[in-house]
Structure 1
Protein backbone atom coordinates (compact mmCIF):
# COMPACT_ATOMS: atom_id res chain seq x y z
CA UNK A 1 0.00 0.00 0.00
CA UNK A 2 1.26 3.48 -0.93
CA UNK A 3 1.30 5.44 2.34
CA UNK A 4 2.62 8.66 0.76
CA UNK A 5 -0.68 10.62 0.95
CA UNK A 6 -1.21 9.70 4.60
CA UNK A 7 2.42 10.44 5.43
CA UNK A 8 2.05 13.90 3.86
CA UNK A 9 -1.11 14.62 5.88
CA UNK A 10 0.52 13.52 9.12
CA UNK A 11 3.47 15.78 8.37
CA UNK A 12 1.10 18.68 7.65
CA UNK A 13 -0.65 17.96 10.94
CA UNK A 14 2.59 17.96 12.92
CA UNK A 15 3.77 21.21 11.33
CA UNK A 16 0.41 22.92 11.92
CA UNK A 17 0.46 21.60 15.49
CA UNK A 18 3.87 23.21 16.11
CA UNK A 19 2.72 26.43 14.43
CA UNK A 20 -0.31 26.60 16.73
CA UNK A 21 1.86 25.89 19.75
CA UNK A 22 4.31 28.67 18.85
CA UNK A 23 1.51 31.14 18.10
CA UNK A 24 -0.06 30.46 21.49
CA UNK A 25 3.07 30.47 23.66
CA UNK A 26 3.40 34.29 23.92
CA UNK A 27 -0.22 34.67 25.02
CA UNK A 28 -0.59 31.78 27.45
CA UNK A 29 -2.42 32.87 30.59
CA UNK A 30 -3.78 36.08 29.05
CA UNK A 31 -7.43 36.98 29.15
CA UNK A 32 -9.12 37.12 25.76
CA UNK A 33 -9.19 40.92 25.88
CA UNK A 34 -5.42 40.98 26.39
CA UNK A 35 -4.62 39.00 23.24
CA UNK A 36 -3.64 41.39 20.44
CA UNK A 37 -4.96 39.56 17.39
CA UNK A 38 -2.93 41.61 14.93
CA UNK A 39 0.26 40.61 16.75
CA UNK A 40 -0.35 36.85 16.81
CA UNK A 41 1.48 36.29 13.51
CA UNK A 42 4.57 38.09 14.84
CA UNK A 43 5.30 35.44 17.51
CA UNK A 44 6.37 38.01 20.10
CA UNK A 45 8.89 36.98 22.73
CA UNK A 46 7.56 35.51 25.98
CA UNK A 47 9.91 36.14 28.90
CA UNK A 48 13.13 34.26 28.33
CA UNK A 49 11.61 32.00 25.66
CA UNK A 50 13.09 32.65 22.21
CA UNK A 51 10.71 33.91 19.50
CA UNK A 52 9.05 31.02 17.71
CA UNK A 53 9.59 28.61 20.61
CA UNK A 54 7.25 25.70 21.07
CA UNK A 55 6.27 24.23 24.43
CA UNK A 56 5.80 20.86 26.09
CA UNK A 57 2.85 20.35 23.73
CA UNK A 58 5.06 19.79 20.69
CA UNK A 59 7.79 18.03 22.65
CA UNK A 60 5.44 15.48 24.21
CA UNK A 61 3.50 14.96 20.99
CA UNK A 62 6.77 14.04 19.29
CA UNK A 63 7.61 11.79 22.25
CA UNK A 64 4.38 9.86 21.68
CA UNK A 65 5.06 9.72 17.93
CA UNK A 66 8.52 8.26 18.56
CA UNK A 67 7.11 5.78 21.05
CA UNK A 68 4.57 4.58 18.46
CA UNK A 69 7.29 4.39 15.82
CA UNK A 70 9.40 2.15 18.02
CA UNK A 71 6.77 0.10 19.87
CA UNK A 72 3.72 0.14 17.64
CA UNK A 73 0.11 0.29 18.81
CA UNK A 74 0.76 -1.27 22.21
CA UNK A 75 0.63 0.06 25.76
CA UNK A 76 3.89 -0.32 27.67
CA UNK A 77 3.44 2.06 30.57
CA UNK A 78 6.92 1.62 32.04
CA UNK A 79 8.58 2.15 28.65
CA UNK A 80 6.57 5.28 27.99
CA UNK A 81 7.30 6.75 31.41
CA UNK A 82 10.98 5.89 31.09
CA UNK A 83 11.09 7.93 27.90
CA UNK A 84 9.07 10.73 29.48
CA UNK A 85 11.28 10.87 32.57
CA UNK A 86 14.43 11.02 30.43
CA UNK A 87 13.08 13.83 28.27
CA UNK A 88 11.37 15.90 30.98
CA UNK A 89 14.39 17.94 32.19
CA UNK A 90 14.85 19.44 28.73
CA UNK A 91 11.19 20.29 28.07
CA UNK A 92 9.79 23.74 28.77
CA UNK A 93 6.43 24.14 30.43
CA UNK A 94 5.54 20.61 31.53
CA UNK A 95 2.21 20.66 33.37
CA UNK A 96 1.57 19.73 37.00
CA UNK A 97 -0.01 16.32 36.40
CA UNK A 98 2.74 15.20 34.05
CA UNK A 99 5.49 16.43 36.34
CA UNK A 100 3.89 14.67 39.32
CA UNK A 101 3.67 11.44 37.32
CA UNK A 102 7.35 11.63 36.39
CA UNK A 103 8.35 12.28 40.00
CA UNK A 104 6.20 9.39 41.18
CA UNK A 105 7.67 7.03 38.58
CA UNK A 106 11.22 8.00 39.52
CA UNK A 107 10.51 7.56 43.22
CA UNK A 108 8.34 4.46 43.34
CA UNK A 109 8.13 3.05 39.84
CA UNK A 110 4.36 3.65 39.76
CA UNK A 111 3.08 3.58 36.18
CA UNK A 112 -0.49 4.81 36.64
CA UNK A 113 -1.89 8.07 37.94
CA UNK A 114 -4.85 8.01 40.31
CA UNK A 115 -5.89 11.56 39.46
CA UNK A 116 -5.22 14.41 37.08
CA UNK A 117 -7.98 16.05 35.03
CA UNK A 118 -5.92 18.61 33.13
CA UNK A 119 -5.26 18.54 29.39
CA UNK A 120 -1.79 16.97 29.21
CA UNK A 121 -3.04 13.63 27.89
CA UNK A 122 -5.31 15.21 25.27
CA UNK A 123 -2.60 17.47 23.90
CA UNK A 124 -0.29 14.54 23.13
CA UNK A 125 -3.00 12.17 21.80
CA UNK A 126 -3.06 13.18 18.13
CA UNK A 127 -0.25 10.83 16.99
CA UNK A 128 -2.34 7.91 18.24
CA UNK A 129 -5.23 9.06 16.06
CA UNK A 130 -2.91 9.45 13.10
CA UNK A 131 -1.30 6.04 13.60
CA UNK A 132 -4.30 3.86 14.49
CA UNK A 133 -7.35 3.56 12.26
CA UNK A 134 -9.21 0.91 14.25
CA UNK A 135 -11.38 2.62 16.88
CA UNK A 136 -11.08 -0.09 19.55
CA UNK A 137 -7.30 -0.24 19.27
CA UNK A 138 -7.05 3.54 19.18
CA UNK A 139 -9.11 3.87 22.36
CA UNK A 140 -7.09 1.19 24.15
CA UNK A 141 -3.77 2.83 23.31
CA UNK A 142 -5.02 6.35 24.04
CA UNK A 143 -6.48 5.40 27.41
CA UNK A 144 -3.44 3.33 28.38
CA UNK A 145 -0.89 6.04 27.62
CA UNK A 146 -3.13 8.75 29.09
CA UNK A 147 -3.42 7.03 32.45
CA UNK A 148 0.35 7.04 32.94
CA UNK A 149 0.01 10.73 33.84
CA UNK A 150 -3.71 11.59 33.98
CA UNK A 151 -5.95 9.16 35.82
CA UNK A 152 -9.21 11.10 35.97
CA UNK A 153 -11.92 9.96 33.56
CA UNK A 154 -12.47 13.42 31.99
CA UNK A 155 -8.78 13.62 31.03
CA UNK A 156 -8.83 10.16 29.44
CA UNK A 157 -12.11 10.93 27.65
CA UNK A 158 -10.72 14.20 26.28
CA UNK A 159 -7.66 12.37 24.94
CA UNK A 160 -9.89 9.81 23.21
CA UNK A 161 -11.93 12.59 21.61
CA UNK A 162 -8.80 14.37 20.38
CA UNK A 163 -7.41 11.14 18.89
CA UNK A 164 -10.72 10.34 17.18
CA UNK A 165 -10.91 13.80 15.62
CA UNK A 166 -7.33 13.54 14.36
CA UNK A 167 -8.03 10.13 12.83
CA UNK A 168 -11.18 11.34 11.08
CA UNK A 169 -9.45 14.41 9.66
CA UNK A 170 -6.70 12.23 8.20
CA UNK A 171 -9.36 10.21 6.36
CA UNK A 172 -11.03 13.34 4.99
CA UNK A 173 -14.02 12.94 7.29
CA UNK A 174 -15.58 15.57 9.55
CA UNK A 175 -13.58 15.96 12.77
CA UNK A 176 -16.59 17.63 14.41
CA UNK A 177 -18.81 14.64 13.62
CA UNK A 178 -16.09 12.29 14.88
CA UNK A 179 -15.81 14.34 18.06
CA UNK A 180 -19.55 14.11 18.59
CA UNK A 181 -19.55 10.35 18.13
CA UNK A 182 -16.56 9.87 20.44
CA UNK A 183 -18.17 12.11 23.05
CA UNK A 184 -21.23 9.83 23.04
CA UNK A 185 -18.99 6.80 23.46
CA UNK A 186 -16.91 8.40 26.22
CA UNK A 187 -19.94 9.47 28.25
CA UNK A 188 -21.22 5.90 28.19
CA UNK A 189 -17.82 4.30 28.73
CA UNK A 190 -16.69 6.50 31.62
CA UNK A 191 -20.06 7.53 33.09
CA UNK A 192 -19.29 11.24 32.92
CA UNK A 193 -20.99 14.37 31.65
CA UNK A 194 -19.29 15.98 28.65
CA UNK A 195 -21.99 18.56 27.94
CA UNK A 196 -19.51 21.43 27.19
CA UNK A 197 -17.87 19.38 24.43
CA UNK A 198 -21.26 18.40 23.02
CA UNK A 199 -22.47 22.00 23.02
CA UNK A 200 -19.31 23.12 21.25
CA UNK A 201 -19.99 20.64 18.46
CA UNK A 202 -23.48 22.09 18.10
CA UNK A 203 -22.21 25.67 17.97
CA UNK A 204 -23.51 26.52 21.43
CA UNK A 205 -20.29 27.01 23.41
CA UNK A 206 -18.57 30.29 24.28
CA UNK A 207 -15.33 30.72 26.24
CA UNK A 208 -15.08 32.52 29.54
CA UNK A 209 -13.62 36.00 29.30
CA UNK A 210 -10.64 34.82 31.34
CA UNK A 211 -9.80 32.27 28.67
CA UNK A 212 -9.70 28.51 28.31
CA UNK A 213 -8.60 26.67 31.44
CA UNK A 214 -6.18 23.77 31.81
CA UNK A 215 -9.03 21.34 32.52
CA UNK A 216 -9.32 18.68 29.85
CA UNK A 217 -13.05 19.07 29.20
CA UNK A 218 -12.76 22.85 28.87
CA UNK A 219 -9.83 22.44 26.48
CA UNK A 220 -11.66 19.96 24.26
CA UNK A 221 -14.77 22.14 24.22
CA UNK A 222 -12.60 25.00 22.97
CA UNK A 223 -10.93 22.79 20.34
CA UNK A 224 -14.26 21.51 19.05
CA UNK A 225 -15.72 25.01 19.12
CA UNK A 226 -12.85 26.48 17.10
CA UNK A 227 -12.95 23.67 14.54
CA UNK A 228 -16.73 23.96 14.24
CA UNK A 229 -16.34 27.71 13.68
CA UNK A 230 -13.57 27.22 11.12
CA UNK A 231 -15.66 24.66 9.27
CA UNK A 232 -18.75 26.88 9.21
CA UNK A 233 -16.71 29.88 8.03
CA UNK A 234 -14.60 27.82 5.60
CA UNK A 235 -11.56 29.31 7.28
CA UNK A 236 -8.04 28.15 6.56
CA UNK A 237 -5.71 26.63 9.11
CA UNK A 238 -3.95 29.92 9.89
CA UNK A 239 -7.22 31.73 10.61
CA UNK A 240 -8.34 28.84 12.84
CA UNK A 241 -5.09 29.12 14.80
CA UNK A 242 -5.54 32.86 15.24
CA UNK A 243 -9.06 32.27 16.49
CA UNK A 244 -7.86 29.62 18.95
CA UNK A 245 -5.21 31.97 20.38
CA UNK A 246 -7.69 34.85 20.62
CA UNK A 247 -9.73 32.88 23.19
CA UNK A 248 -7.00 33.44 25.80
CA UNK A 249 -6.07 31.12 28.65
CA UNK A 250 -4.21 27.98 27.65
CA UNK A 251 -3.62 29.37 24.19
CA UNK A 252 -0.74 27.16 23.10
CA UNK A 253 -2.50 23.87 23.84
CA UNK A 254 -5.80 24.82 22.22
CA UNK A 255 -4.12 26.21 19.11
CA UNK A 256 -1.75 23.24 18.86
CA UNK A 257 -4.53 20.64 18.97
CA UNK A 258 -6.62 22.65 16.51
CA UNK A 259 -3.63 22.89 14.18
CA UNK A 260 -2.85 19.20 14.41
CA UNK A 261 -6.42 18.18 13.60
CA UNK A 262 -7.04 20.66 10.79
CA UNK A 263 -3.54 20.27 9.39
CA UNK A 264 -4.17 16.55 9.05
CA UNK A 265 -6.78 17.29 6.39
CA UNK A 266 -4.22 18.99 4.18
CA UNK A 267 -2.41 17.10 1.39
CA UNK A 268 0.63 19.33 1.86
CA UNK A 269 2.01 21.84 4.35
CA UNK A 270 -0.75 24.39 5.03
CA UNK A 271 -0.19 28.08 4.32
CA UNK A 272 0.70 29.49 7.75
CA UNK A 273 2.56 32.82 7.43
CA UNK A 274 4.67 32.40 10.55
CA UNK A 275 5.61 28.74 10.03
CA UNK A 276 9.13 29.57 8.80
CA UNK A 277 9.82 31.34 12.11
CA UNK A 278 8.73 28.43 14.31
CA UNK A 279 11.38 26.39 16.10
CA UNK A 280 10.41 23.21 14.28
CA UNK A 281 11.60 19.68 15.00
CA UNK A 282 14.50 18.32 12.97
CA UNK A 283 13.43 17.56 9.39
CA UNK A 284 14.90 14.07 9.42
CA UNK A 285 13.00 13.25 12.62
CA UNK A 286 9.76 14.60 11.16
CA UNK A 287 10.16 12.53 8.02
CA UNK A 288 11.01 9.43 10.03
CA UNK A 289 8.09 9.55 12.44
CA UNK A 290 5.57 10.53 9.77
CA UNK A 291 6.59 7.56 7.61
CA UNK A 292 6.42 5.24 10.63
CA UNK A 293 2.98 6.48 11.73
CA UNK A 294 1.63 6.15 8.19
CA UNK A 295 2.93 2.59 7.96
CA UNK A 296 1.44 1.76 11.35
CA UNK A 297 -1.93 3.14 10.25
CA UNK A 298 -1.86 0.98 7.13
CA UNK A 299 -1.19 -2.08 9.29
CA UNK A 300 -4.06 -1.33 11.70
CA UNK A 301 -6.64 -0.32 9.09
Structure 2
Protein backbone atom coordinates (compact mmCIF):
# COMPACT_ATOMS: atom_id res chain seq x y z
CA UNK A 1 0.00 0.00 0.00
CA UNK A 2 1.27 3.48 -0.86
CA UNK A 3 2.61 5.57 1.98
CA UNK A 4 0.14 8.36 1.20
CA UNK A 5 -2.77 5.96 1.65
CA UNK A 6 -1.31 4.62 4.87
CA UNK A 7 -0.83 8.15 6.15
CA UNK A 8 -4.44 9.03 5.36
CA UNK A 9 -5.79 5.95 7.13
CA UNK A 10 -3.61 6.42 10.20
CA UNK A 11 -4.71 10.03 10.41
CA UNK A 12 -8.33 8.92 10.23
CA UNK A 13 -7.68 6.34 12.92
CA UNK A 14 -6.11 8.91 15.27
CA UNK A 15 -8.98 11.35 14.79
CA UNK A 16 -11.66 8.70 15.20
CA UNK A 17 -9.91 7.38 18.30
CA UNK A 18 -10.05 10.84 19.88
CA UNK A 19 -13.67 11.28 18.79
CA UNK A 20 -14.61 8.03 20.53
CA UNK A 21 -12.72 9.06 23.63
CA UNK A 22 -14.47 12.44 23.80
CA UNK A 23 -17.89 10.86 23.19
CA UNK A 24 -17.35 8.40 26.01
CA UNK A 25 -15.88 10.71 28.66
CA UNK A 26 -19.21 12.20 29.82
CA UNK A 27 -20.73 8.74 30.34
CA UNK A 28 -17.84 6.89 31.93
CA UNK A 29 -19.03 4.81 34.87
CA UNK A 30 -22.68 4.92 33.84
CA UNK A 31 -24.80 1.84 33.42
CA UNK A 32 -26.14 1.26 29.92
CA UNK A 33 -29.61 2.44 30.89
CA UNK A 34 -28.12 5.67 32.25
CA UNK A 35 -26.53 6.61 28.93
CA UNK A 36 -28.83 9.05 27.13
CA UNK A 37 -28.11 7.95 23.60
CA UNK A 38 -29.63 11.01 21.83
CA UNK A 39 -27.27 13.16 23.91
CA UNK A 40 -24.02 11.39 23.02
CA UNK A 41 -23.32 13.74 20.10
CA UNK A 42 -23.64 16.76 22.38
CA UNK A 43 -20.48 15.93 24.39
CA UNK A 44 -22.04 17.17 27.62
CA UNK A 45 -19.91 18.45 30.47
CA UNK A 46 -18.88 15.87 33.08
CA UNK A 47 -17.86 17.36 36.40
CA UNK A 48 -14.81 19.53 35.78
CA UNK A 49 -14.16 17.93 32.38
CA UNK A 50 -14.99 20.50 29.69
CA UNK A 51 -17.14 19.44 26.73
CA UNK A 52 -15.03 17.74 24.07
CA UNK A 53 -12.26 16.78 26.48
CA UNK A 54 -10.31 13.61 25.83
CA UNK A 55 -8.81 11.40 28.51
CA UNK A 56 -5.67 9.41 29.21
CA UNK A 57 -6.67 7.17 26.30
CA UNK A 58 -5.83 9.80 23.69
CA UNK A 59 -2.90 11.21 25.64
CA UNK A 60 -1.20 7.82 25.98
CA UNK A 61 -1.94 6.85 22.38
CA UNK A 62 -0.26 10.03 21.17
CA UNK A 63 2.65 9.36 23.54
CA UNK A 64 3.19 5.91 21.99
CA UNK A 65 2.93 7.39 18.50
CA UNK A 66 5.59 9.95 19.40
CA UNK A 67 7.82 7.25 20.87
CA UNK A 68 7.55 5.20 17.65
CA UNK A 69 8.24 8.27 15.54
CA UNK A 70 11.40 9.01 17.49
CA UNK A 71 12.70 5.51 18.23
CA UNK A 72 11.19 3.25 15.59
CA UNK A 73 9.98 -0.31 16.18
CA UNK A 74 12.27 -0.98 19.15
CA UNK A 75 11.66 -1.47 22.85
CA UNK A 76 13.52 0.85 25.19
CA UNK A 77 11.72 0.51 28.50
CA UNK A 78 13.67 3.27 30.22
CA UNK A 79 13.07 5.76 27.43
CA UNK A 80 9.37 4.93 27.27
CA UNK A 81 8.87 5.22 31.03
CA UNK A 82 10.86 8.45 31.13
CA UNK A 83 8.49 9.92 28.59
CA UNK A 84 5.50 8.56 30.47
CA UNK A 85 6.69 9.86 33.84
CA UNK A 86 7.31 13.30 32.33
CA UNK A 87 3.85 13.43 30.76
CA UNK A 88 1.88 11.82 33.60
CA UNK A 89 1.24 14.94 35.74
CA UNK A 90 -0.60 16.55 32.82
CA UNK A 91 -2.66 13.50 31.84
CA UNK A 92 -6.21 13.61 33.11
CA UNK A 93 -7.73 10.30 34.23
CA UNK A 94 -4.57 8.20 34.18
CA UNK A 95 -5.32 4.61 35.27
CA UNK A 96 -4.20 2.84 38.45
CA UNK A 97 -1.76 0.39 36.86
CA UNK A 98 -0.09 3.09 34.78
CA UNK A 99 0.18 5.48 37.73
CA UNK A 100 1.66 2.72 39.91
CA UNK A 101 4.25 1.99 37.22
CA UNK A 102 5.18 5.66 36.99
CA UNK A 103 5.53 5.86 40.78
CA UNK A 104 7.79 2.75 40.86
CA UNK A 105 9.94 4.10 38.05
CA UNK A 106 10.37 7.46 39.76
CA UNK A 107 11.17 5.82 43.09
CA UNK A 108 13.67 3.21 41.98
CA UNK A 109 13.94 3.03 38.21
CA UNK A 110 11.86 -0.15 37.94
CA UNK A 111 11.05 -0.70 34.27
CA UNK A 112 8.80 -3.78 34.37
CA UNK A 113 5.52 -4.23 36.16
CA UNK A 114 4.89 -7.45 38.06
CA UNK A 115 1.12 -7.01 38.08
CA UNK A 116 -1.62 -4.95 36.49
CA UNK A 117 -4.53 -6.47 34.58
CA UNK A 118 -6.39 -3.29 33.63
CA UNK A 119 -6.76 -1.94 30.10
CA UNK A 120 -4.06 0.74 29.98
CA UNK A 121 -1.74 -1.24 27.71
CA UNK A 122 -4.55 -2.07 25.28
CA UNK A 123 -5.74 1.52 25.10
CA UNK A 124 -2.37 2.72 23.80
CA UNK A 125 -1.57 -0.23 21.48
CA UNK A 126 -3.13 0.93 18.21
CA UNK A 127 -0.15 3.03 17.02
CA UNK A 128 2.00 -0.11 17.19
CA UNK A 129 -0.48 -1.92 14.96
CA UNK A 130 -0.51 0.99 12.55
CA UNK A 131 3.28 1.30 12.47
CA UNK A 132 4.32 -2.37 12.28
CA UNK A 133 2.95 -4.79 9.70
CA UNK A 134 5.14 -7.78 10.54
CA UNK A 135 3.29 -9.88 13.14
CA UNK A 136 6.35 -11.07 15.07
CA UNK A 137 7.84 -7.59 15.34
CA UNK A 138 4.46 -6.08 16.22
CA UNK A 139 4.05 -8.59 19.06
CA UNK A 140 7.56 -7.94 20.33
CA UNK A 141 7.04 -4.18 20.48
CA UNK A 142 3.53 -4.43 21.92
CA UNK A 143 4.61 -6.90 24.60
CA UNK A 144 7.72 -4.92 25.50
CA UNK A 145 5.95 -1.60 25.91
CA UNK A 146 3.00 -3.22 27.70
CA UNK A 147 5.27 -4.81 30.30
CA UNK A 148 6.44 -1.41 31.47
CA UNK A 149 3.08 -0.77 33.14
CA UNK A 150 1.04 -3.99 33.06
CA UNK A 151 2.58 -7.26 34.22
CA UNK A 152 -0.47 -9.52 33.99
CA UNK A 153 -0.61 -11.75 30.92
CA UNK A 154 -4.25 -10.91 30.07
CA UNK A 155 -3.40 -7.21 29.87
CA UNK A 156 -0.52 -7.90 27.48
CA UNK A 157 -2.64 -10.28 25.39
CA UNK A 158 -5.39 -7.67 25.16
CA UNK A 159 -2.88 -5.11 23.88
CA UNK A 160 -1.59 -7.56 21.26
CA UNK A 161 -5.12 -8.28 20.04
CA UNK A 162 -5.94 -4.57 19.78
CA UNK A 163 -2.72 -3.90 17.84
CA UNK A 164 -3.41 -6.82 15.48
CA UNK A 165 -6.92 -5.54 14.76
CA UNK A 166 -5.57 -2.06 14.01
CA UNK A 167 -2.95 -3.50 11.68
CA UNK A 168 -5.50 -5.58 9.77
CA UNK A 169 -7.84 -2.61 9.42
CA UNK A 170 -5.06 -0.48 7.97
CA UNK A 171 -4.50 -3.10 5.28
CA UNK A 172 -8.19 -2.93 4.35
CA UNK A 173 -8.98 -6.34 5.82
CA UNK A 174 -11.69 -7.01 8.37
CA UNK A 175 -10.29 -6.38 11.85
CA UNK A 176 -12.27 -9.42 12.97
CA UNK A 177 -10.13 -11.66 10.78
CA UNK A 178 -7.14 -10.90 12.99
CA UNK A 179 -8.85 -11.96 16.21
CA UNK A 180 -8.68 -15.80 15.96
CA UNK A 181 -5.02 -15.83 14.91
CA UNK A 182 -3.93 -13.38 17.58
CA UNK A 183 -6.04 -15.08 20.23
CA UNK A 184 -4.53 -18.48 19.41
CA UNK A 185 -1.04 -17.02 19.56
CA UNK A 186 -1.64 -15.23 22.86
CA UNK A 187 -3.17 -18.27 24.54
CA UNK A 188 -0.13 -20.34 23.59
CA UNK A 189 2.39 -17.60 24.36
CA UNK A 190 1.02 -16.66 27.77
CA UNK A 191 -0.79 -19.83 28.80
CA UNK A 192 -4.09 -18.09 29.45
CA UNK A 193 -7.74 -18.60 28.54
CA UNK A 194 -9.17 -15.93 26.25
CA UNK A 195 -12.71 -17.30 26.09
CA UNK A 196 -14.33 -13.84 26.47
CA UNK A 197 -12.57 -12.65 23.33
CA UNK A 198 -13.52 -15.81 21.44
CA UNK A 199 -17.14 -15.38 22.49
CA UNK A 200 -17.14 -11.78 21.33
CA UNK A 201 -15.72 -12.81 17.98
CA UNK A 202 -18.51 -15.37 17.63
CA UNK A 203 -21.19 -12.84 18.52
CA UNK A 204 -21.86 -14.49 21.89
CA UNK A 205 -20.80 -11.71 24.26
CA UNK A 206 -22.74 -9.12 26.26
CA UNK A 207 -21.42 -6.54 28.71
CA UNK A 208 -22.09 -6.72 32.43
CA UNK A 209 -25.22 -4.91 33.57
CA UNK A 210 -22.96 -2.24 35.08
CA UNK A 211 -21.18 -1.78 31.76
CA UNK A 212 -17.72 -2.70 30.54
CA UNK A 213 -15.17 -2.86 33.34
CA UNK A 214 -11.52 -1.83 33.51
CA UNK A 215 -10.28 -5.43 33.25
CA UNK A 216 -8.29 -5.75 30.02
CA UNK A 217 -10.08 -8.81 28.68
CA UNK A 218 -13.47 -7.20 29.30
CA UNK A 219 -12.32 -4.19 27.32
CA UNK A 220 -10.93 -6.07 24.33
CA UNK A 221 -13.98 -8.37 24.26
CA UNK A 222 -16.17 -5.26 24.17
CA UNK A 223 -14.08 -3.79 21.35
CA UNK A 224 -14.38 -7.00 19.34
CA UNK A 225 -18.11 -6.99 20.03
CA UNK A 226 -18.50 -3.39 18.86
CA UNK A 227 -16.50 -4.02 15.69
CA UNK A 228 -18.54 -7.13 14.97
CA UNK A 229 -21.82 -5.29 15.55
CA UNK A 230 -20.71 -2.42 13.33
CA UNK A 231 -19.63 -4.80 10.58
CA UNK A 232 -22.77 -6.93 10.65
CA UNK A 233 -25.10 -3.93 10.67
CA UNK A 234 -22.98 -1.83 8.30
CA UNK A 235 -22.87 1.05 10.73
CA UNK A 236 -21.16 4.30 9.99
CA UNK A 237 -18.17 5.00 12.18
CA UNK A 238 -20.20 7.60 14.08
CA UNK A 239 -22.95 5.07 14.78
CA UNK A 240 -20.35 2.52 15.90
CA UNK A 241 -19.01 5.05 18.41
CA UNK A 242 -22.53 5.74 19.68
CA UNK A 243 -23.07 2.00 20.10
CA UNK A 244 -19.80 1.63 22.03
CA UNK A 245 -20.74 4.42 24.42
CA UNK A 246 -24.22 2.95 24.90
CA UNK A 247 -22.69 -0.17 26.50
CA UNK A 248 -21.85 1.82 29.63
CA UNK A 249 -18.93 1.37 32.00
CA UNK A 250 -15.54 2.37 30.65
CA UNK A 251 -17.20 4.13 27.75
CA UNK A 252 -14.31 6.31 26.64
CA UNK A 253 -11.80 3.48 26.32
CA UNK A 254 -14.10 1.09 24.46
CA UNK A 255 -15.29 3.80 22.06
CA UNK A 256 -11.76 5.08 21.52
CA UNK A 257 -10.18 1.71 20.69
CA UNK A 258 -13.09 0.55 18.53
CA UNK A 259 -13.16 3.92 16.79
CA UNK A 260 -9.44 3.89 16.09
CA UNK A 261 -9.67 0.43 14.58
CA UNK A 262 -12.69 1.23 12.42
CA UNK A 263 -11.34 4.64 11.47
CA UNK A 264 -8.13 3.04 10.21
CA UNK A 265 -10.10 1.45 7.38
CA UNK A 266 -11.29 4.82 6.08
CA UNK A 267 -9.66 6.48 3.05
CA UNK A 268 -10.29 9.87 4.63
CA UNK A 269 -11.63 11.40 7.81
CA UNK A 270 -15.00 9.78 8.63
CA UNK A 271 -18.05 11.99 9.05
CA UNK A 272 -18.46 12.37 12.80
CA UNK A 273 -20.83 15.21 13.76
CA UNK A 274 -18.97 16.14 16.95
CA UNK A 275 -15.39 15.86 15.64
CA UNK A 276 -14.94 19.62 15.31
CA UNK A 277 -15.75 19.97 19.04
CA UNK A 278 -13.17 17.44 20.22
CA UNK A 279 -10.10 18.78 22.02
CA UNK A 280 -7.47 17.68 19.53
CA UNK A 281 -3.78 18.49 19.05
CA UNK A 282 -2.90 20.85 16.23
CA UNK A 283 -3.43 19.39 12.77
CA UNK A 284 0.32 19.64 12.18
CA UNK A 285 0.93 17.23 15.08
CA UNK A 286 -1.60 14.71 13.77
CA UNK A 287 -0.15 15.01 10.26
CA UNK A 288 3.41 14.56 11.50
CA UNK A 289 2.60 11.47 13.55
CA UNK A 290 0.54 9.94 10.76
CA UNK A 291 3.35 10.42 8.27
CA UNK A 292 5.95 9.02 10.67
CA UNK A 293 3.93 5.88 11.47
CA UNK A 294 3.18 5.33 7.79
CA UNK A 295 6.87 5.60 6.92
CA UNK A 296 7.77 3.19 9.72
CA UNK A 297 5.21 0.67 8.48
CA UNK A 298 6.59 0.90 4.95
CA UNK A 299 10.13 0.39 6.20
CA UNK A 300 9.28 -2.67 8.32
CA UNK A 301 6.97 -4.44 5.86
Normalising by structure 1, we get a TM-score of 0.99
Task: Provide the residue aligned with 1:182 in structure 2.
Answer: 182
Task: Provide the residue aligned with 1:202 in structure 2.
Answer: 202
Structure 2 distance, partners of 1:2, 1:13, is 17
Q: CA deviation at 1:177?
A: 1.3
Equivalent positions of 1:104-253 (< 5 A) are 104-253=104-253
Q: CA deviation at 1:209?
A: 1.1
Task: Provide the residue aligned with 1:294 in structure 2.
Answer: 294
Q: Could you list the runs of 5+ residues in structure 2 that have no partner in the other structure?
A: none
Task: Provide the residue aligned with 1:17 in structure 2.
Answer: 17
Structure 1 distance, partners of 2:223, 2:180, is 12
Q: CA deviation at 1:277?
A: 0.5
Structure 1 distance, partners of 2:142, 2:281, is 23
Structure 1 distance, partners of 2:70, 2:16, is 23
Q: CA deviation at 1:180?
A: 2.0
Structure 2 distance, partners of 1:82, 1:179, is 32
Report the 3-state secondary structure (helix = DSSP H, G, I; strand = E; otherwise coil) of the residue aligned with 2:286.
helix
Post-superposition, which runs of at least 4 consecutive aligned residues in structure 1 deviate over 3 A?
Answer: none
Deviation string 1:134-178 (CA, Å, 9 cap, x unpaired) is: 000000000000000001000000000000000000000110110
Q: CA deviation at 1:32?
A: 0.6
Structure 2 distance, partners of 1:95, 1:236, is 30
Normalising by structure 2, we get a TM-score of 0.99
Structure 2 distance, partners of 1:75, 1:279, is 30
Task: Provide the residue aligned with 1:73 in structure 2.
Answer: 73
Q: Could you list the runs of 5+ residues in structure 1 that have no partner in the other structure?
A: none
Q: CA deviation at 1:2?
A: 4.0
Task: Provide the residue aligned with 2:103 in structure 1.
Answer: 103
Structure 2 distance, partners of 1:143, 1:44, is 36
Task: Provide the residue aligned with 1:279 in structure 2.
Answer: 279
Task: Provide the residue aligned with 1:49 in structure 2.
Answer: 49
